[in-house]
């Protein structure tokens, strides 16, 4: 995402919490005002326990992404009410032309293992499988101990030139510690290390599973009908402390925020392109969640 001009992401509470998103200088918090989709499936969580529109993208394996569609500004109605400053849709690959496994390591005990392969690649059927293991302790005195496992499976079937069907599923499990924000005055006074923590009990764990089925029919070069159904299972257990010892000077002000839900929905649309002097596409559709 950092490759998109004007789009900035930052992490401020351990590796597993949703990033903070900025678009053209606009603070979108954890997704309140920027809409994210993966192959058309919405990522933002409505009425989330931590923040409205919470969009955790850690289930996404970068090597499975073919391209990223970035729309800046609230001009596209199909992306809904979270797209105040813009919207991002990640389009996955259908297959890879070479299988590979790789391992990497870096500072702060950072490790990553990845396997990507396509078991079947024929003219009609293509598959993609990917698995990722990730760990990092981060630069903090209170180690992040961030562990994450990702799995992704995709099958694309084209029984005819004008018809295509896609089935996909992903799973993510992550857990981490966090050092949270710290008071500048304590660091300036030399009483707290800039990589230290006031409340080292912050952190959390999160799981997400997504299943989706998609079909597209293109009876002519100018017409296309698409329909999609999806289901998600999501869980988050987050420990935070925003005021340290202000309200409870003995035990501290740490809080627990729990979110657990099942989301399902569908998206059907019809597009008609008119080859005028400037090509124009009309799209109508129906969404439910």
pLDDT digits (tens, 9 = 90+) for 89-148: 999 999 999 999 999 999 999 999 999 999 999 999 999 999 999 999 999 999 999 999
Confidence band for 70, pLDDT divided at 50, 70 and 90: very high
Using the predicted structure, report yes or no on whether residue 14 has a pLDDT greater than 80: no
With H, G, I as helix, E, B as strand and everything else as coil, classify residue 281.
Answer: strand
pLDDT in tens, 227-250: 999 999 999 999 999 899 999 999
Query: Average pLDDT for residues 36-62, to the nearest whole number?
Result: 95
Mean pLDDT across the chain? 94
Q: Which residues, at least 6 apart from 49, have a Cβ–Cβ distance to it below 8 Å?
A: 236, 238, 257, 258, 259
pTM: 0.93
Contact at 8 Å (CB) between 231 and 201? no
pLDDT (0 to 100) of residue 74: 86
Confidence band for 194, pLDDT divided at 50, 70 and 90: very high
Confidence band for 82, pLDDT divided at 50, 70 and 90: very high
Match 């032309």 to its residue by tokens: 97
Domain parsing of the chain, residue ranges: 7-288
Query: Average pLDDT for residues 193-197, to the nearest whole number?
Result: 93
> Exposed/middle/buried for 124, CB within 10 Å: 0-12, 13-18, 19+?
exposed
Contact at 8 Å (CB) between 37 and 89? yes
Query: Average pLDDT for residues 148-154, to the nearest whole number?
Result: 98
Using the predicted structure, report yes or no on whether residue 13 has a pLDDT greater than 80: no
Of 165, 272, 283, 282, the C-alpha closest to 229 is 165
Using the predicted structure, report yes or no on whether residue 5 has a pLDDT greater than 80: yes
Query: Average pLDDT for residues 40-53, to the nearest whole number?
Result: 95
Confidence band for 278, pLDDT divided at 50, 70 and 90: confident
């Amino acid at each position: 995402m950092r490759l998109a001009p004007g789009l900035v992401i930052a992490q401020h509470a351990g590796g597993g919490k949703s990033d903070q998103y900025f678009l053209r200088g606009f603070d979108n918090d954890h997704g309140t005002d920027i809409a994210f989709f993966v192959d058309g499936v919405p990522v933002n969580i409505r009425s989330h326990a931590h923040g409205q529109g919470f969009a955790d993208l850690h289930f996404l394996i970068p090597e499975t992404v073919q391209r990223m569609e970035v729309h800046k500004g609230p001009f596209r109605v199909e992306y809904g009410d979270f797209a105040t400053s813009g919207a991002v849709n990640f389009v996955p690959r259908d297959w890879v032309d070479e299988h590979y496994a790789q391992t990497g390591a870096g500072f702060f005990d950072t490790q990553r293992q990845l396997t990507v392969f396509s078991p079947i690649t024929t003219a009609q059927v293509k598959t993609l499988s990917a698995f990722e293991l990730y760990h990092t302790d981060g630069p903090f005195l209170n180690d992040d101990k961030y562990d994450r496992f990702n799995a992704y499976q995709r099958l694309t079937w084209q029984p005819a030139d004008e018809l295509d069907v896609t089935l996909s599923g992903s799973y993510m499990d992550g857990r981490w510690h966090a050092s949270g924000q710290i008071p500048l005055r304590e660091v300036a006074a030399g009483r707290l290390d800039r990589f230290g923590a006031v409340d080292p009990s912050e952190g959390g764990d999160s799981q997400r599973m997504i299943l989706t089925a998609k079909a597209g029919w293109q009876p002519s070069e100018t017409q296309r009908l698409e329909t999609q159904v999806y289901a998600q299972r999501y869980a988050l257990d987050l420990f935070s402390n925003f005021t340290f010892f202000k309200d409870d000077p003995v035990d501290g002000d740490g809080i627990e925020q729990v979110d657990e839900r099942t989301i399902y929905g569908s998206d059907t649309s019809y597009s008609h392109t008119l080859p005028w002097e400037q090509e124009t596409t009309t799209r109508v559709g129906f969404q439910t969640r």
